[in-house]
Amino acid sequence: SQQGEEDPQALSIQEGENATMNCSYKTSINNLQWYRQNSGRGLVHLILIRSNEREKHSGRLRVTLDTSKKSSSLLITASRAADTASYFCATDGHFTGNQFYFGTGTSLTVIP
Amino acid sequence: DGGITQSPKYLFRKEGQNVTLSCEQNLNHDAMYWYRQDPGQGLRLIYYSQIVNDFQKGDIAEGYSVSREKKESFPLTVTSAQKNPTAFYLCASSGERFYGYTFGSGTRLTVV
């Protein structure tokens, strides 16, 4: 399976701290995406990084991609209680067309 | 506002029944997807469709069926052959490959 794996499975931090979560995957990819899911809701697309990119920013989010290590990280700076959610990475592959494979997610709790 | 609408939000199925989950989008997206999410697990792809009147099986298609008669609609039928249907079902669409998925808010199916 090409499914990515997020690490850690759960993370609890104080408001204002930074949160870092990681994603590892198994085969070569074209694109990697990060999504947020609030409890019982659908996923919201956060950011997409292509295989030829190493870093991308969007507001308080910073995503890095290391294709040599087959890993990506998502950094949320100055976290807020509203950032409490599960975060998933999703990867496609050279031979999977438009299919993206999702990891099992990191559950982030930001304590006010 | 453009988006994806899934209905119903909650659905209860008796043993041996077929049920159909609705997914409608007004984003003019070509591709649509159905995912299943179980507690503590990532999303698993059931079916996807990249164009009207065409669809492909995902990783866990057994016990499910779909149709794509209109660009806007991609209903999922959970048949009696699906032995463990209790899960959270998510529909998604995408227009351009590099801009991520748009997800609906999900349908929670419970077998009673």
pLDDT in tens, B6-27: 999 999 988 889 999 999 999 9
CA-based nearest residue to A99, from B45, B65, B85, B5: B45
State the burial class of residue B52 (Cβ atoms within 10 Å of its Cβ: 0-12, 13-18, 19+). Answer: middle
Yes or no: say if A43 and B101 are a contact pair by the CB < 8 Å rule. Answer: yes
- Residue B98 scores a pLDDT above 80: no
- Whether the predicted pLDDT of A52 surpasses 80: yes
Distance CA A53, CA B105 (A): 31
- Residues in Cβ contact with B31 at an 8 Å cutoff, skipping those fewer than 6 apart: A98, B48, B49, B50, B51, B93, B94, B95
Kindly tell me if the per-residue pLDDT of A40 is higher than 60.
Answer: yes
Interface test with B, best of A5, A36, A43, A89 (most B CBs within 10 A): A43
Q: pLDDT digit string (tens) for B63-74?
A: 999 999 999 999
Q: Is B92 on the interface with A (CB under 8 A)?
A: yes
Of the candidates B12, B58, B37, B19, the one whose C-alpha atom is nearest the C-alpha of residue B103 is B37
Query: pLDDT at residue B100 above 90?
Result: no
pLDDT at A97: 59
- pLDDT for position B42: 85
Q: For residue A71, give the 3-state DSSP assignment.
A: strand
Contacts of A97 (CB under 8 A, 6+ apart): B50
Angle at A35 between CA A81 and CA B108, to 5 degrees: 90
A-B Cβ pairs (cutoff 8 Å, strict): 60
Q: Among candidates B111, B110, B112, B102, which has minimal Cα distance to B35? A: B102
- A47, A58 Cβ separation under 8 angstroms: yes
| Residues A41, B48: C-beta atoms closer than 8 Å | no
Q: Does B101 touch chain A (CB under 8 A)?
A: yes
